[in-house]
């Protein structure tokens, strides 16, 4: 008989990170196939963007269903159902006979991925609290970042090997199936079903009101949402800035993106170590928030004055990304700490608000892009500064 993973083991954290990273794989790996899909279905690359939009709509909205249901019936059944949906939708994408069918299956796949981000955080909250919880959240974030960092390379490798965009979706389906099997065999339920936590409109309203009236949860939900908006601003704006403004090739852009993303990895790892040693969360939090606002402000001033050399831009962006890592694990766990019995619902709210605001900031960066880094830098700075203000005022 296969033994369940010990929650304190590296294997357990890796499993939670694998589950939580399904969404990132579903977005970033699929981007590699855009030119092939456009060619096969005789549509423009911008039209192929509908597949990503469909995925994001399902991904952003479905956590609001998964969270409350997992509080009532337990995490494991919801995880297995959502992962099965993700896997079957991956097969549907791979076998799609038309572009319209592909868009529909991508929406379904996004719905399946919706549980990954929300419930991975809820699982950690179920099992850990205080500094241990903040440390575990940070370590999971470090491992989850491997998905967006490796996804473009894996996607490109599959295209080189099989010369077919469908191979990407077969790989996503296989990853979903592996996650399903590991979750079924190695994950022990972290939140027992709660019959008193009914799914009635009245009970849901009471639970949502509880989140909105708990100062600590609201404070750190806003902090995390704003910081995620800054991160999404960079993710959206970085290809415009690096390739259009600075003229980098896709290969060199990938290298610079990996460099800046390493700042998030480093920040999350440092935060995990500090929390493991019992350092109070306010120290990495305030350090990260001040660093993000300050470095973002410097970037904004320098960008407004004159064209900024890449040798100056990149180190400052790395420091801003480092701030995201220092803040993220703390903000998520502190938002969920008072919500132990409804951590799924609270985590789903955090996920939906972060994704919704992040998507809005990404659209704003694209709309206001003027051939300079200004819109990207301004959005990152505004989000970091507002997050610092929320932390100080609330």
Same domain, 330 and 270: yes
Same domain, 178 and 235: no
Same domain, 115 and 238: no
- The residues, ordered by sequence, that sit 6+ positions from 378 with a Cβ below 8 Å of its Cβ are 300
Q: What is the 3-state secondary structure (H, E, C) of 117-153?
A: HHHHHHHHHHHCCHHHHHHHHHHHHHHHCHHHHHHHH
Q: How high is the pLDDT of residue 100?
A: 95
Residue 55: which of 33, 72, 80, 79 has the closest Cα? 33
Same domain, 188 and 205: no
Q: What's the structural domain count of the chain?
A: 2
Same domain, 175 and 246: no
Question: Under a CB-based contact definition with an 8 Å cutoff, are residues 21 and 146 in contact?
Answer: yes
For the chain, what's the residue count?
394
Q: Which domain holds residue 231?
A: 200-394
Does residue 306 come out as left (phi exceeding 0), alpha (psi in the -120 to 50 range) or beta?
Answer: beta
C-alpha to C-alpha distances, 166 to 28, 54, 116, 318, nearest whole angstrom: 15, 18, 23, 35
Same domain, 223 and 129: no
Same domain, 104 and 157: yes
Same domain, 223 and 271: yes
Same domain, 144 and 161: yes
DSSP 308: P
Reading the chain (394 residues) residue by residue, the pLDDT tens digits are 678 899 999 999 999 999 999 988 888 788 778 788 888 999 887 788 788 888 888 988 899 899 999 999 999 999 999 999 999 999 999 999 999 999 999 999 999 999 998 899 999 999 998 888 989 988 998 888 778 777 777 887 888 788 889 999 999 999 999 999 999 999 999 988 877 777 888 888 899 899 999 999 999 999 999 999 998 888 878 877 887 788 887 668 777 878 888 898 899 999 989 988 888 989 999 999 999 999 999 999 998 887 788 888 899 999 999 999 999 888 998 999 998 888 889 998 998 898 889 888 888 887 888 888 898 999 999 999 999 999 999 8
Whole-prediction pTM: 0.85
Phi, psi of 188, deg, nearest 5:
-90, 135
Q: With 0-12 CB in 10 A as exposed, 13-18 as middle and 19+ as buried, what is 203?
A: middle
CATH of the domain at 265: 1.20.1250.20
Longest dimension (CA), the chain: 65
Same domain, 39 and 130: yes
Q: How high is the pLDDT of residue 173?
A: 97
Same domain, 182 and 241: no
Picking from 193, 218, 250, the residue at the C-terminal end of a domain is 193
Picking from 155, 177, 193, the residue at the C-terminal end of a domain is 193
Same domain, 9 and 158: yes
Picking from 193, 209, 242, the residue at the C-terminal end of a domain is 193
Q: How high is the pLDDT of residue 1?
A: 60
DSSP 243: I
Residue 207: which of 325, 52, 344 has the closest Cα? 344
Helix, strand, coil in percent for the chain, rounding step 5? 85, 0, 15
């Amino acid at each position: 008989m296969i033994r369940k993973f010990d929650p304190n083991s590296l294997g357990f954290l890796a499993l939670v990170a694998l589950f939580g990273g399904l969404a990132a794989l579903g977005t970033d790996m699929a981007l590699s196939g855009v030119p092939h899909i456009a060619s096969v279905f005789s549509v423009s690359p911008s039209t192929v963007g509908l597949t990503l939009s469909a995925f994001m709509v399902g991904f952003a909205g479905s956590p609001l269903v998964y969270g409350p249901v997992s509080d009532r019936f337990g995490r494991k059944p919801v995880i297995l159902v959502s992962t099965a949906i993700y896997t079957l939708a991956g097969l549907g994408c791979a076998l799609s006979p038309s572009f319209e069918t592909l868009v529909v299956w991508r929406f379904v796949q996004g719905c399946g991925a919706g549980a990954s981000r929300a419930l991975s955080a809820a699982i950690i909250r179920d099992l850990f609290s205080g500094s241990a919880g903040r440390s575990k959240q940070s370590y999971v974030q470090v491992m989850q970042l491997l998905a967006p960092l490796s996804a473009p390379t894996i996607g490109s490798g599959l295209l080189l090997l099989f010369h077919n965009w469908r191979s990407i979706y077969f790989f996503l389906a296989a990853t979903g199936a592996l996650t399903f099997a590991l979750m079924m065999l190695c994950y022990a339920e972290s939140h027992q079903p709660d019959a008193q936590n009914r799914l009635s409109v009245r009970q849901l309203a009471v639970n949502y009101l509880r989140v909105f009236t708990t100062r600590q949860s609201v404070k750190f939900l806003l902090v995390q949402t704003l910081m995620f908006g800054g991160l999404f601003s960079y993710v959206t704006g970085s290809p415009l800035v690096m390739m259009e403004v600075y003229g980098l090739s896709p290969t060199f852009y990938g290298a610079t993106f990996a460099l800046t993303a390493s700042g998030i990895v480093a920040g999350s790892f440092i935060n995990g170590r500090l929390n493991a040693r019992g350092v109070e969360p306010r120290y990495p939090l305030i350090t990260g928030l001040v660093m993000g606002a300050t470095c973002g402000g410097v970037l904004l001033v320098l960008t407004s004055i004159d064209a900024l050399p890449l040798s100056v831009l990149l180190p400052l962006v790395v420091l801003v990304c480092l701030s995201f890592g220092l803040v993220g694990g703390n903000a998520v766990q502190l938002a969920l700490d008072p919500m132990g019995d409804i951590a799924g619902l609270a985590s789903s709210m955090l996920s939906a608000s972060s994704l919704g605001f992040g998507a809005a900031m990404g659209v704003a960066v694209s709309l206001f892009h003027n051939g300079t880094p200004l819109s990207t830098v301004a959005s990152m700075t505004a989000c970091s500064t507002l997050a610092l203000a929320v932390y100080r005022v609330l």
